[in-house]
A and B are shown apart, each in its own frame.
Chain A
Amino acid sequence: MVQYVFYFLTVLALFSACMVVLSRNPIHSVLYLIVTFFCLSGHYLLLNAQFLAVVNIIVYAGAIMVLFLFVIMFLNLRQDVEPPRSLLWRMAALVAGGLLGLVMVAALKQVSMQSPSKEGFDSQVGLVENLGQVLFRDFLVPFELASVLFLVAMVGAVMLGKRDPGEPTI
C-alpha cells in the first residue's frame, strides 16, 4: 500500500517537475511547481516527518508560490506565450544543461544503492519534538546563524522596498 503511494507520488512529482520546465504559460509552470511541492510533502509524510511536510506546504506552497503567482500575474497581462529564443540562447542553454548533466552523472557514480539498515532506526525521529531537540541541542549554533542570515535578508528587503520621501505611496 505504502509502496503504491510512493510510486504514485514519485511519478506525479517527476511529471509535474518536467511540466514546470515544458509549459509555455508561466502561470501553468507555477501551478505545476505547486503540485511538485505537494508531492514532496507527501514523501515527507511517508517518511513520518509530519512537521517537515506541513512546513514545506506553509512556506513554499502557501507563501513563496503565492508571491510567485502574484508577480507573474502582473507580468503576464498581455502575451500568454513566450517568444522563441535566438540560436545563441539555445546554444548557451545546451552547454549549461550538458555541464549540469555531467556534474550530476559524476556525482551519482559515487552513490551506493545500499538501503540503510532497519536496526536502530527510530521511526519517531521525524516528529516535531525530536526535530526541536536536535535543532536546539546539537545544532544550535548553525540554527542561530541561519536565523541571523534571515534577519539580514529581511533588512535588505525592507531597504529595497523603501521609498524616497518624494515618491508616491501605493
Chain B
Amino acid sequence: MDPLLVKALIIIAIFGITLLIATYSTWAERKVAAFIQDRNGPNRAGWGGLLQPIADAGKMFFKEDFIPASANKWLFIFGPSLAMLTALMASAVIPFGDTILVGGQEIQVQAIEVNIGILYVFGVVSLGVYGIMIGGWASNNKFSLLGAVRAASQNISYELAMGLSIIAILLMSGSLSIRAIVEGQHGGNWNILYQPLGFIIFLTCAFAECNRTPFDLPECETELIGGYHTEYSSMKLGFYLFAEYINMFASSAVTACLFLGGFNYPFMDDVRNGLISSLGDVTGHNVATAIGTLVFFAKILFGIFFFMWVRWTLPRFRYDQLMSLGWKALIPLAILNVVLTAAGVLLEMRWLPWLAVIVIVAVAIVQAAMAPKKQLRTQRV
C-alpha cells in the first residue's frame, strides 16, 4: 500500500474517531450523571440508550433554526462554525501511537508531525474563545454578551497558568514536539511522577479552557440564562455543545500526552519483544503499536470520565473566586513550579518539583492546626 494513502486513512480515522468519541461523550455524560445521582439515565433509544446521541442529533437538525431579527446575521452563523472548527483542529498534532510498518516504511500514527506541536495546540486553544465571543456578541442580547465577555477574560486568565505549566514540561523534555515529549516518557517514566504540581495546574486550566463545570461561568444558567448561547437554537446550539465535547476529548488527549505518557505503558518493551518473537517483525511491531494506541485511548477515555466526574461532583465557582484562583493562586504556583523544575534540571534532581507539593501540604496542615476552632452552633428548633 502507498504510504500516502495510509497517512490519509490515518487522518480520516482520527477525524472520525474524534467525532465518534465526542458523540458518545454526550451519552456517557448523561449516564455518569445518572449514576452519580442514583438514577437510570437514558435507556429508551437502543440498548442502554446507546442510540440516544443519534436521536438527539436528529432532533437538533429538525428544530426551527431561528436567527433573532436584530442579530448580526453572518457573525451569528459564523460563531458556532468557528467553535466547531477550532475544536476539531487541535487533534491534528497529537501522536495517537508509535509507528506502523507498511511495505518496509515506518509511518507515524499521527496526522502531522511538526516540531512546534505543543505551541500549535496552544494556539488553537487560544483561538477557541472566538467562537463564543463572536456568537455572544452577534446575538445582540445582553446576557449573551456578558457570557462572551466572561469567556474571554476567563480564557485569557487561565491560558497564562497553562502556558507556565507547559514550560515546566518543556524544560524537562527539551522539545516542543508532542511526539518527542511522549517518547521522553518511555515505559512507566511518566511526567506526572516528576511534575505533580504542573499536572494539577494544567488540569485545572484545561477545565477552565473547556468551559466545563466548575468553571462554566460563560453559560452560568442561574445568572445568565444560557450565557453566550441564549439566542441559539437547532444545530447551531448543537455545534456549540458538541464543540465542548470535542474540546474535552482534545484536552484529555493533550493531558495524556504531556503528563500520562501518551502511548507508553509499563513493560512495553517486553510486550513488544514478545510480540515480535512470536508474530514476526512486521506484524509484531504493528500489533505492539496497536496496543499502545489502545492504552492511549484508555487514558483519553479516563480523562473524559474525569471531566464528567468533576462536573457532577463540584459546584460552580463564583466569578471573583474564579479570577482570584487563576491570578493569585495558579500563576504564582506555576512560576514556582517552573523555577523548581529549572533548578532540578540544573542539579539533575528531577524529583525537585515534589518539594513544592510537600511545602504546600505542610503549610496547609499547619494552617489548619493553627486556625481557631470553629464554634459549633447548635441549631434551635
Contact = CB atoms under 8 A, between A and B. Distances in A.
Interface of A: 27, 31, 34, 50-51, 54-55, 57-58, 61-63, 66-67, 69-70, 73-74, 77, 127-129, 169-170
Given A27-B137, A58-B122, 10 more contacts: A51-B176, A57-B123, A66-B129, A67-B156, A69-B152, A70-B152, A70-B153, A73-B137, A73-B148, A170-B319
14 contacts: A27-B75, A50-B116, A51-B176, A54-B119, A54-B123, A58-B123, A61-B123, A61-B126, A63-B159, A69-B133, A69-B152, A70-B149, A73-B145, A73-B149
Which of B126, B134, B148 gathers the greatest number of chain A CB atoms within 10 Å?
B126
A25 to B, nearest CB: 8
B125 to A, nearest CB: 8
B155 interface: yes
B354 interface: no
A170 B134 contact: no
Interface in B111-152: 114-116, 119-120, 122-123, 126-127, 129-130, 133-134, 137, 145, 148-149, 152
Contacts, number: 67
B348 interface: no
Given A63-B126, A74-B149, A55 B320 contact: no
B276 interface: no
| Category for how many chain B residues contact A | 20 to 34
Contacts of B155: 66
Contacts of B115: 50, 127-129
Contacts of B126: 57-58, 61-63, 66
Contacts of A77: 145
A67 B126 CA distance: 12
A118 B119 CA distance: 30
Contact of B159 (A27, A50, A62, A127): A62
Given A66-B129, A73-B137, A54 B148 contact: no
